[in-house]
Amino acid sequence: MATENKNLSNYDKNTIPNAKDFRFGIVVSEWNEQITEGLFQGAYSALVDCGATTKNIIRWNVPGSFELIFGARQMHEKLDIDAVIVIGCVIKGETMHFEFVCEGVTQGMKDLNLLYDVPTIFCVLTDNTLQQSMDRSGGKHGNKGIESAIAAIKMIDLNTKLSK
């Protein structure tokens, strides 16, 4: 298990760039809402903790994880933002639906990162059980929403440095 011995949700604020001037878009899937809300709260609180202003954090909801691609693309095209964070949760069931959704969302996010000069951060849990998702959305393995927020800040900082 990748995070079994290390909780990556613990960050040293002194090593993170100040996010006060950064603008964030967050697209949140309504499917598995108890998980995605925990991930959103983790991301939101980490952004604010690192200096982001609440007016510079824009949230849009979409019905499911597959729709995250469209929501993120619309954010890239319609908003003046520095990063998009997509938050979703797909839990394996009895059919191939899990594999198709996970593959499509992953490829869609990869495509957005190739298409736009603004990073799209992938915070979509793809777990076998609800308990695994709970453990990663504020449970014993931390909160992947926090990790996605820190990744967004670091990627904006890198993007800013590269564009100078």
Q: Give the contacts of 143 (CB within 8 A, at least 6 positions apart).
A: 9, 38, 39, 42, 136, 137
Rounded to whole angstroms, the Cα distance separating 120 from 21 reads 18
Best CA proximity match to 64, nearest among 89, 39, 40, 100? 89
- The one-letter amino acid code at 156 reads I
- Is 97 considered catalytic here? yes
Pairing verdict, β 137-139 and 142-143: antiparallel
Candidate list 6, 97, 110, 140, residue with the active-site label: 97
Known catalytic residues are 97
